[in-house]
Structure 1
């Protein structure tokens, strides 16, 4: 991991090629107009890593925001690291490339820096993103394995336009299975992680294999118990004249992971980007004194992201 004078400029190398900006902006924002505004604000604030997904239904808005900023010539495509994700209904190998190409068109990009399997669960293939039976239960697809989907992802890298591939919402056990059979290893895995769910064992495995661990819900997604109200975090924030969010995000980067943070408030977006290195005693306090351990999102058990509202 290379760190410049500013923690926010940290880049984490991968086994694939190049490196990943540790500080990332997530685009899980329901309203396309607000998505466009927030994405522009994030790029103007200094974010150079954008995380998107077919499932968010707003890739076009993110693409519009990028093109607007590119038109100002203050930013070029090569300055950005852009990820997007394959949704669960497209796990069948023959559906992977069409889904990838559709995301590229919506994002108005020739190349994607990292294409990620959104969850390791395959849903019934089709246009309905949230297939349910008459009892409201998810309809899974038993006709495809994660390894078969991964092979189709590898072919995207072979064919060009996809620089690297990754996984999201995955357990260490499942990640081990893919690494064991992969011809092209994951460059990045996205998992829920924050001071209440540090995932140290998974982080160690990722480091060993040249995989970037990227934390989503890095601030606990404002759920209870509230990470940002933790007395250890708030005491450090007061001592260092930073916000609790800046402390939690700095901790994420300083320990060797990347993170995603999402906001629609320009001031908050700038604040979340403005992180700086923590003293070693603060890092030690967070690791040793915080005892709460909780997962807020059960997606690793079901494939249904808990932070995405179901379509009616």
Structure 2
């Protein structure tokens, strides 16, 4: 077997903030809090140096505990880990942004985060309810605030130095352009669903041309049907290069110039997902040209309601 290369250690320069983001990131969207803690620790020990958290996942506390455990054991320093978290929809009003950010910092047990994202461009009714609904079960949106209003509040956090870079999540190309053109501080990262069934080439081109990092979530298709990991193009390449389908998909994402997130609760799979290496150019071409399916697995971009997070108490 060919010796592993350095693809897994790829870092992508940011237009502002903490210098560069590790391309290979670990997502902490894990419903069970204890599993979150175990998986986050396993990810750091496997070599992941980028963690993606969110107020909406309701497990920032466990992510923070896992990080502190690893830091206190002397296995790595805080500066070596790029930490991102996100502002949820019920906190879009400018006066709610800083308290929400500070609450996240406290749960994560950090003095600063490397990246703070607006989780979706949809503002929900302000308040403690993460998933406000009317009597008919419809989401109650907040028409009194714009995405740019919220963005300007995030710019204020950067000015204070406790948030190194800011970005957008679950947005369209038009929304990215709006904020890029109007913002005093430009988005450093745009975090969207992307994989060979949803390559987002137009958005990726715009990001490349404007120094924005596109970060892909659901890079492995999130186990949804049709299963990306079972796509014949992907499985054939995996067999040929002696890698797993997951490793092929993650390598593809890095080699096309994006950062990505992968999530698992299983330590062996977490380790496997870090063991990526460079694909030959013909394999890249086969994925880019040979896969014609176009599927979006998460409808959050249409409603602001997350497709991968179960509705539970308080949302």
**Equivalent position SS for 1:116:** strand
Q: How many angstroms does 1:270 deviate by?
A: 0.3
**Equivalent position SS for 1:170:** coil
Partner of residue 47, structure 1: 48
Structure 2 stretches lacking a partner, 5+ long:
none
**Equivalent position SS for 2:168:** strand
Question: What do you get for the CA RMSD once the two structures are aligned?
Answer: 0.9
Assess if the C-alpha contact under 8 Å between 1:130 and 1:311 holds in 2.
Answer: no
Write the deviation string for residues 53-93 of structure 1: whole angstroms up to 9, x where unpaired: 00000000000000000011110000000000000000000
Q: How many angstroms does 1:5 deviate by?
A: 4.1
TM-score normalised per structure 1: 0.98
**Equivalent position SS for 2:56:** helix
What does 1:15-164 align with in structure 2 at a 5 Å threshold?
Answer: 15-17=15-17, 18-164=19-165
Say yes or no: does 1:193 pair with 2:194.
Answer: yes
Write the deviation string for residues 16-35 of structure 1: whole angstroms up to 9, x where unpaired: 14110000000001111110
Assess if the C-alpha contact under 8 Å between 2:5 and 2:278 holds in 1.
Answer: no
1: CA distance, partners of 2:29 / 2:302: 21
Q: How many angstroms does 1:160 deviate by?
A: 1.2
Q: Which runs of 4+ in 1 moved over 6 A?
A: none
Write the deviation string for residues 125-175 of structure 1: whole angstroms up to 9, x where unpaired: 000100000010000000000000000000000011100000100010111
Say yes or no: does 1:293 pair with 2:294.
Answer: yes
Aligned pairs, number: 309
**Equivalent position SS for 1:294:** coil
**Equivalent position SS for 2:214:** strand
**Equivalent position SS for 1:131:** coil
Partner of residue 181, structure 2: 180
Write the deviation string for residues 211-266 of structure 1: whole angstroms up to 9, x where unpaired: 11000000000111111111000000000111000000000000000100000000
1: CA distance, partners of 2:181 / 2:68: 39
Q: How many angstroms does 1:209 deviate by?
A: 1.1
Q: How many angstroms does 1:14 deviate by?
A: 1.4
2: CA distance, partners of 1:24 / 1:175: 22
1: CA distance, partners of 2:14 / 2:113: 16
